[in-house]
Amino acid sequence: MINFFMKKIKDESGMALTASTMFVFVVLSIMAFYLARFSILSSESAGHYLQNVRARNLVQTGLEIGLQTVSTSYSSLQSSITGKLNKGTYTVSVDNSKDEVNSNLAYNHYSLLKSTTVVGGVHRAGRLIISPYPNAFNLSLFSDNQSNGTFNANSNSSISGDFFFNGTISNVTMGNNSVAYSSSSSSSSPIIFHGLPKPSFPVLNHSIYTNILATVSGQYNPSSGGGQTGSATATVWNPSGGHCNVCPNDANSNNRYACSKGYGGWSNSHSFNDFIPTGSIANRIKIRFKGATPCGGTWNISPSVNGQIINNDSWYGSGCQCNSCSTKDVVSASHTNGFPGYKYGASNSLTFSHSGTQTCIGYVQVIIDYSASSVPGVAENKSINLSSFTNNTLMHDGNLTLTSCNISGSGYILASGNITISGNTTIGGGVKIISEKALTINGSSSIGSSISNYCVLYGKEGVSIQGSTFFGLIISLGNSLSLTSSTLNGAILTESSANTLSNATINGSIVSKNNLSLTSSNIVKSNLPDLFGLNLGFKPSVLPGSYLEY
């Protein structure tokens, strides 16, 4: 019986061992299965990660290809570029108006540079915001202040949009959400110390403009616009004071007078409207004084028209008498290109600067000798289409004056001398106006029609705009940039030594090499002309912080 139980125990012990062995085998098999599955998943994950890294790298490569292409040929990206690299494909394109989520870009001169890639089934995308301007133009105002001045905008001036001044800012009024950065470490609120590295003044390739100016030759000789040759006279001042008659037999006089010492209602300032035939040019101006002779001595007189002195002269008389009349003419030099500063079709100002003995005047006349305006380099009241010129280029070797003209068509206006645009002249968009010397615009002229239909100004010896409206890009060199009582829409780059804004509004951005003065003026960050695809001397830039993967 004992042997029977012992045998049973031995038999069941073998079964337990077998069962234990089977259990261990099953557990190890399950572990092996999960280990194999984990190995496969890890391999897949590692492969996906590797493809993801490759796709991201290819995105950045695509953006780099796009940036290189944009710097030389923006138009080639309008229809996208596709390529293959490292077993993946990339597509690079530009969107002029929308970002990656189809929202409008902040400004119309910004563009979205987008790169999309596929590597082993992994899709990635990245974008940059690019501008055709250097980074300094991303501010409302940038001043490198190489003249080492202090920025001081009077209380009637304001700046809306972030700006940078390389130096000390002593006074400024800023718009909402605007930040003023200074290079001065001692700056205090609301001025913020920019820190290092400081932003740099952009480099412009001036050779583009100097090479164009080197092509100027010949004379622009406009055909006659109905102008005539002759002489015209207008009575500008006819006093009503005085206690007796002078020039009693002269129909132009009311027989009263005013005296230079102040008696009789004397005035040193008078105005008169242009009275010569339309299309004619004023060659010589004569100011005629009629009245009693100087009252026992010499009267020195220097009349001016619009601030331009006619001549310096003197008049001697032994005494002033009633019912007497004498004449003194002060005559200008002859100007074949027109009397400087004379305003055609508008009001002109006559002023007197005088000294010496008293003189009593019965009346004053302005006498103008004029000729037809077909003078080389002078156009007045002309309708000009640039497409009628060779290479759409109106050029003149010398000073060029455009007065009360209507200029249409895209192209160039070039001069080896000064360019003066005045008298309500209108110039449509697409025109580049380049002067070897100074470029002056005044007389309520309008240059460009919108921020997308704009003009380009380049003044090698400075730019002056007064009482006018401008859309586009201004580049000023030389001694001065002067903007007065005008509205400027777009971008301004000035390397001039003196920069003055007075009663001016800038909607866009101004970048200055030297200090600038603001008087009752406003600068508002806004849209700039889109220069992509145009070789105007700037290098495109990437908006800082605009890289995004999505």
Report pLDDT digits (tens) over 4-45.
Answer: 545 554 555 555 556 666 666 666 666 655 565 555 444 445
| pLDDT score for 35 | 60
Average pLDDT estimate for 61-65: 88
Tokens in use for 52? 């993801």
Residue 437 has pLDDT above 80, yes or no: yes
Average pLDDT estimate for 48-74: 80
| pLDDT score for 44 | 46
Lowest mean per-residue pLDDT among 211-220, 238-247, 306-315, 522-531: 238-247
| pLDDT score for 477 | 97
Largest CA distance in the chain: 177
Residue 69 phi, psi (nearest 5): -70, -45
Q: Is the pTM of this model over 0.75?
A: no
Looking at domain 230-372, its CATH class is mainly beta
Rg (the chain; Cα; Å): 39
Q: Mean pLDDT: which of 63-77, 196-210, 333-347, 492-506 is highest?
A: 492-506
CATH of 20-132+545-549, one of 2.40.160, 2.60.120, 2.60.40, 3.30.1300: 3.30.1300
Residue 451 vs residue 9, higher pLDDT: 451
Q: What is the pLDDT of residues 332-356, one digit of tens each?
A: 999 877 898 898 888 999 999 999 9
Q: Which residues of 288-309 are buried (b: 16+ CB within 10 A; e: fewer)?
A: bbbbbbbbeeebebbbbbeeee
> 130, 70 in Cβ contact below 8 A?
yes
Of 288, 292, 211, 287, nearest to 255 by C-alpha is 292
| pLDDT score for 18 | 63
How is the chain split into domains, by residue range? 20-132+545-549, 135-150+205-220+378-531, 230-372
Residue 273 phi, psi (nearest 5): -80, 150
- In 106-238, the DSSP E strands lie at 111-119, 122-131, 141-143, 151-152, 158-160, 163-165, 169-171, 180-182, 191-193, 230-237
| pLDDT score for 41 | 45
What percent of the chain shows pLDDT beyond 70? 88
| Separation CA 439–CA 458 (nearest Å) | 8
Residue 74 has pLDDT above 80, yes or no: no
Residue 266 has pLDDT above 90, yes or no: yes
Residue 91 has pLDDT above 80, yes or no: yes
Task: Kindly indicate the confidence band of residue 75, based on its pLDDT and cuts at 50, 70 and 90.
Answer: low
Question: Number of C-alpha atoms within 13 angstroms, CB side, residue 351?
Answer: 8
Residue 358 has pLDDT above 50, yes or no: yes
Of 180, 203, 50, nearest to 122 by C-alpha is 50
Residue 155 has pLDDT above 80, yes or no: no
CB neighbourhood size of 96 (10 A): 14
Q: Which residues of 515-524 are buried (b: 16+ CB within 10 A; e: fewer)?
A: bbbbebbbbb
| Separation CA 281–CA 278 (nearest Å) | 9
